[in-house]
Amino acid sequence: MTILVFLLALCGAMALGMPVAFALLVCGIVLMGFLGLFDSQIVAQNLIIGADNFSLLAVPFFLLAGELMNRGGLSKRIVDFAISFVGHIHGGLGYVAIFAAIIMAALSGSAAADTAALASILIPMMRQAGYNVPRSAALIASGGIIAPVIPPSIGFVIFGVAGGVSITQLFLAGVFPGLLMGLSLVVAWAIVCRKDSMTVLPRQTWGDSARSFRDGFFALMMPVIILGGIKFGVVTPTEAAVVAAVYALLVGMFVYRELKLNMLYEVFLAAAKMTAVVMFLVAAALVSSWLITQANIPAELGAFLEPLKNSPRLFIFVLMLLVLVVGTALDFAPTVLILTPVLMPLVREVGRLNGIPHFEVYFGVLFIMNNAIGLITPPVGIVLNVVCGVARVTMGQVVKAVTPFLIAQTSVLLLLIIFPDLVIQPLRWMRGTIGFGEMMWMFVTWPVRLVGG
C-alpha cells in the first residue's frame, strides 16, 4: 500500500505539470501524512542536509568546465583533430562525431552540453557533404550519451552521493564500458551508412595531422590530467572538478585566446543556473529518500524480488528492465534520485549473499548507462530534443533514425549484464589490485566461467 501511495503522489504531481523537484517534495509530504509523521521541520532539515555534501561540489565545477570548454575553443580543436585522422574515409564525419564524443565525455560529463557542442560544429559540415541529416543528428545524440558513463560523470557523482557508493570507484569502473559504447556506435554507423552517397573529405598528410594534434594538444591533455589524477590518488573527484574548471579557463583564455573576459559573466551564469536545478533536485530527493527509508519501501520491493536474490544476473536484468521503462518517462537526474534509495538496499543484499566484490559499483555503472540510454528514447529524450533544435529536424525523423544506435547501446548494456567482468576487472586493474595479464586472462576465459555459473 505504501508503494502505491508513493507512486500515485509522485506521478499525480508530475501529471499536473509540476516540476520534478516540487513533485518530489509533494510526494514526501503525502508520505509523511500517510505515515502520520508530518513535521515541516523534517522537510526543511532534509532539504538542507540533501545539498550539504562535499562530494556535490563536483557538480558545479564540472558544469562550469563544460561551459568553459565549449566557449574556449577546446571542443572545436578536438573535432579538427579527429577529422585529420578519419575524415577522409566513407562516412568519416560520423566516425569523427563518435571519436570526438568519447574525448569530450572525458571533459565535461554532461550529455546535453556535449551533444549541443558537437551538433553545432558537425551538422552544418555533414549537411553540406550530403549526409542524411536526421541520421547524423541521431548519431551525435547517441554519442552524447557516453558523457554520463565516461568520467568525469555528473551522473556518477549524484548516484554516489544518493547511494553511498565510492565516486572514485564509479569513475574508474566507467571507463571501459564507455569505450564499449563508442565501439558499438562505430559498428552501427558502418552498417547504416555503407550505401549512402556522400562527399568524402580529402586525406590529410601526416604533417597536417601533426599540426592538428599540436593545436589540440592542450584540449586532449584535459582528460589525461583528470583521469590520471584520480587513478593515482593525486586528486579526489571533487578536486578533479576544480582542476578541470581552472584548466579549461586558463587554456581558453591564454592558450587558444577564444574565451574573452567579457564572456565570463555569461559562462558563470549559465553554469550557476544548471547547478541550481541539479542541486535543488538532489535536496528535494533527500526528503523523499528519508521517507522511503521510514516507510520501509525497499523491504516491500525486496519481498517481490526475493526469488531472484540468488541469481545476480537475473536480478540485475529485471532491475535494468525497470529502469529502462522508467527512463522513457523521466529525465536522467530524477530517475537516479528516485530509484537509487529504493534499489540500493536490495543491491547490497544481493552482493552480500552471493559474495560478489564491487557489486554496488557494478550496478551503479549499469544503472547510469541505462539512464543515459533513456536520454535518447521518446517521449522525453532530452538529448533528442537538443539535437533536433540544433539540426533543425523533427523529433519523428530523429526517433526513426536513432533506432540502430539505440539497439547498439542497449546491446552493450545486455553484454555487461551477461559478463560483469567487463566492468569489475578493469576496475580492479585501475585500482592496482590485479595486473594487466590477469585482467586479460579473465576476459579470455569468461565463456567457461559463464557456463560454469
What are the pLDDT digits (tens) for 163-173? 889 888 998 89
Considering only residues 127 and 106, tell me which one the structure prediction assigns the higher pLDDT: 127
For residue 453, pLDDT beyond 60: no
Q: Cα(439)–Cα(433) distance, rounded to whole angstroms?
A: 10
- Based on its alpha-carbon atoms, the radius of gyration of the chain, rounded to whole angstroms, reads 22
pLDDT at position 199 over 80: no
**Helices 74-86 and 206-215: angle between axes, nearest 10 degrees:** 160
Indicate the pLDDT class of residue 84, thresholds 50, 70 and 90.
Answer: confident
Report the distance separating Cα 408 and Cα 411, nearest Å: 5
Q: At what angle do helices 395-418 and 133-144 cross, to 10 degrees?
A: 40
The whole-number pLDDT of residue 316 equals: 92
Residue that wins the pLDDT comparison between 21 and 132: 132
pLDDT at 332: 79
Query: Quick one: CA torsion of 164, 168, 174, 176, rounded to 10 degrees?
Result: -150
DSSP for 135-147?
Answer: HHHHHHHHHHTTT
Indicate if the pLDDT at residue 338 is higher than 90. no
> CA-to-CA distance for 378 and 223, rounded, in angstroms?
31
- What pLDDT digit, counting tens, does each position of 92-102 carry? 888 988 988 88
- Total Cβ atoms within 10 A of residue 5: 17
> Cα separation of 50 and 314, whole Å?
33
Q: Band of the pLDDT at 184, cuts 50, 70, 90?
A: very high
CB 417 within 8 Å of CB 316? yes
- pLDDT tens-place string over residues 37-59: 777 777 777 777 767 777 777 77
Mean pLDDT on 210-220: 84
Q: Residue 260 has what pLDDT?
A: 87
- Which range, 169-173, 195-199, 213-217, 424-428, has the best average confidence (pLDDT)? 169-173
pLDDT at 452 over 60: no
Q: Please name the residues in contact with 410: beta carbons below 8 A apart, sequence gap of 6 or more.
A: 373
Q: Model confidence at 109, in pLDDT bands (50, 70, 90)?
A: low
Residue 152 C-alpha from the chain's centroid: 9
At residue 422, the pLDDT reads 87
Q: pLDDT-based confidence at 424, cuts 50/70/90?
A: confident
- Residue 1 pLDDT class (50, 70, 90 cuts): low
Mean pLDDT of 171-183: 92
Phi, psi dihedral angles at 85 (to 5 degrees):
-105, -35
Q: What would the mean pLDDT of 247-263 be, rounded to a whole number? A: 88
> According to the model, what pLDDT value does residue 191 have?
92
pLDDT of residue 447: 60
DSSP designation for 377: S
On the question of pLDDT at 161 being above 70, the answer is yes
Decide if pLDDT at 393 tops 80.
Answer: yes
**pLDDT confidence of 404, banded at 50, 70, 90?**
very high
Q: What is the mean pLDDT of residues 123-148?
A: 89
Residue 198: band (very low, low, confident or very high) from pLDDT cuts 50, 70, 90: confident
pLDDT of residue 390: 80
Contacts with 156 (C-beta within 8 Å, 6 or more apart), sequence order? 109, 148, 167, 170, 171, 174, 237, 364, 368
Quote the pTM value: 0.83
% the chain with pLDDT above 90: 16
CA dist list (Å): 343 to 40, 112, 315, 346: 27, 26, 11, 5
